[in-house]
């Protein structure tokens, strides 16, 4: 992989990179299309990273479809797919972890301890191997995107990080590989996440600025089995905010059946 990248760079080509855990859907394809537009060469990684899963999470059953993924990637104009094994990424004796401290503390950092250390470490390693000029992520993983931006800035990696808006199904459900877990009834209930977020966004657009009012109104619309969080935060720092005084985001994580889903909307200027 690194030899391929070095050869491309030697030819003066700009490398765009989309890191994924596979189970590609239209949201991933949109990221690849943006990479194809922005770069001379397009690289994709497919790696289900064990270090970002907790002991009770869905590592073993996470959806995997390598032939289907490679077909989608080829259809989107991908030049190379990097598909390492766990032993390639974490060889015997591996002991280094990267932590983006403040941005990893709240939200999923509370619900999934250690998750973002796993994300930051694997992303840094992928960047070192692939050596891209730019990397593209979806805003559905809002906190992850903030962590990656901080990682790249703090370690002076010199990689442009591009965030793309969440890609949704026609009925509003945020596209996710984990949607495949949902039964028909659970999928119908999952729509309550986007409906709650959209309602809060519309209410803010109509002039409501009180954070508690926005959050309580959204919470009343949720139909979930467990709510991990529903928080209004500063869009840049992810610090909780009491009211909408500038760019903010409303983030939700909830479990429906056995499936944990996340979603978010931007609120304010």
d(CA 26, CA 207): 34
Q: Where are the beta strands (DSSP E) in 26-152?
A: 41-46, 80-82, 134-138
Q: Which helix (H) or strand (E) holds 53?
A: none
Among 161, 152, 117, which residue's Cα sits nearest to residue 18? Answer: 161
Give catalytic status of residue 25 as yes or no: no
Q: State the Cα–Cα distance between residues 170 and 242, nearest whole angstrom.
A: 32
Q: How far apart are CA 123 and CA 49, in angstroms?
A: 10
Strands lying side by side in the sheet with 134-138: 80-82, 41-46, 15-20, 134-138, 160-164
| Catalytic hit among 16, 17, 21, 28 | 28
Rg of the chain's alpha carbons, rounded to an integer? 19
Q: Which residues are annotated as catalytic? A: 28
């Amino acid at each position: 992989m690194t030899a391929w990248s070095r050869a491309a760079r030697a030819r003066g080509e700009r490398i765009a990179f989309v890191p994924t855990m596979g189970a590609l859907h239209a949201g991933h394809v949109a990221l690849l299309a943006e990479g194809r537009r922005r770069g001379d060469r397009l690289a994709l990684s497919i790696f289900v990273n064990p270090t970002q899963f907790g002991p009770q999470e869905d590592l073993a059953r996470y959806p995997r479809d390598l032939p289907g993924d490679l077909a989608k990637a080829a259809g989107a104009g991908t030049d190379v797919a990097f598909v390492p094994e766990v032993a390639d990424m974490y060889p015997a004796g591996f002991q280094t972890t990267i932590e983006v401290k403040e941005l990893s503390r709240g939200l999923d950092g509370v619900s999934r301890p250690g998750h973002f250390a796993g994300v930051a470490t694997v992303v840094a390693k992928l960047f070192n191997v692939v050596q891209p000029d730019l990397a593209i992520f979806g805003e559905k993983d809002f906190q992850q995107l903030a962590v990656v931006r901080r990682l790249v800035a703090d370690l002076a990696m010199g990689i442009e990080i591009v965030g793309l808006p969440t890609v949704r199904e026609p009925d509003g459900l945020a596209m996710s590989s984990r949607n495949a877990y949902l039964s028909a009834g659970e999928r119908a209930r999952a729509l309550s996440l986007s409906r709650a977020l959209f309602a809060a966004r519309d209410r803010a657009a109509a002039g409501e600025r009180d954070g508690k009012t926005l959050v309580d109104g959204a919470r009343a619309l949720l139909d979930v089995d467990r709510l991990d969080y529903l928080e209004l935060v500063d869009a840049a720092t992810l610090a909780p905010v009491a009211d909408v005084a500038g760019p903010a985001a409303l983030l939700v994580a909830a479990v429906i059946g056995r499936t944990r889903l996340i979603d978010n909307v931007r609120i304010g200027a």
